[in-house]
Structure 1
């Protein structure tokens, strides 16, 4: 709902309706709007961890494998999973300044940063802790561009350039 209709669409009543629950059911679990938004943030983070392999970094040993894997993740996040990606972006913006709401999103991001740092080290990056910032920024920018401006923007050339730059 948040990914297709925006953050303001998220209300207890609309969640009840969408889930086919009796009126007031959602508020039994999430008493306030802040709690509801935090619950959605937690669900998003858990869903992404489940979809992208839990906390274990994938078995990647070469730059080409990393380029392929990141290109696939970006294609999923900006294609079939675009509504969820839009919801995550909306929650980050909504939660700016709200540590409780941001906590599950930031925890998920840390997991992905750790994965990516380990993968960069494995494929030969000289400074993986520094390189991960550039690579994540490039990936986030490409995802945002695809879900807002150009859904057909090429992925692999951008990812390849970013990964190769991280290896220098």
Structure 2
């Protein structure tokens, strides 16, 4: 049964990532997932429930990917540049649909902290990870530096998934990490 739910959620990510949040309907998810009609509504009765389920599942998926990385190996600015460049390349390449879905959900749920909760928690975890790494490489104001570094990364990610998929990553990240250490 959970396999059906996962197929529905994967299909929902693809739909939203390709066509935007308005494409998210139970019928379209069923069709995209190759499920019998009504399958998605068995798991998520309303569109709001489907959006909430998608946000929670997306955050869970990203957290699983995130914790799989070994952050303890990042001890120098160059290693941080490598790690952040790799994350951005992944989010704007193989995981671009998931990234577009995350942004669409942030915009759709902007006034609803309950719906945004799982995504905000995932972001908080990533902020804390970034702060810890910046402390480890000697940033003077790691919290402020993390905010600037993440804003730069978000801007670059958004630019790559919407305007210029071939925009260079590493030079931007190198500048941002250098600035974080000042």
User: What interval of TM-score do these two structures reach, taking the shorter chain for normalisation?
Assistant: over 0.9
| Matching residue of 1:85 | 99
Structure 2 unaligned regions, length at least 5? 1-14
Does the 8 Å CA contact 1:7/1:90 hold for their aligned counterparts? yes
Q: Give the superposition deviation at 1:29.
A: 1.3
Q: Give the superposition deviation at 1:55.
A: 8.9
* 1:142 aligns to 2:156 (yes or no): yes
SS of 1:152's equivalent? coil
| Matching residue of 2:139 | 125
Normalized per residue, the structure richer in helix is 2
Q: Give the superposition deviation at 1:53.
A: 2.1
TM-superposition CA deviations, 1:131-163 (whole Å, max 9, x none):
110000000000000111111111000000000
1:119, 1:164 → 2: CA distance? 14
Does the 8 Å CA contact 1:60/1:66 hold for their aligned counterparts? yes
- How many aligned positions are there? 168
SS of 1:46's equivalent? helix
TM-superposition CA deviations, 1:83-122 (whole Å, max 9, x none):
1101100000000001121011101101110111111111
| Matching residue of 1:98 | 112
2:130, 2:108 → 1: CA distance? 26
SS of 1:53's equivalent? helix
1:152, 1:17 → 2: CA distance? 32
1:7, 1:57 → 2: CA distance? 33
Change (3 A) 1:133 1:101: same
Q: Give the superposition deviation at 1:58.
A: 4.5
| RMSD of Structure 2 on Structure 1 (CA) | 1.4
| Matching residue of 1:110 | 124
SS of 2:73's equivalent? coil
1:55, 1:70 → 2: CA distance? 12
Structure 1 unaligned regions, length at least 5? none
TM-score normalised by structure 2 residue count: 0.88
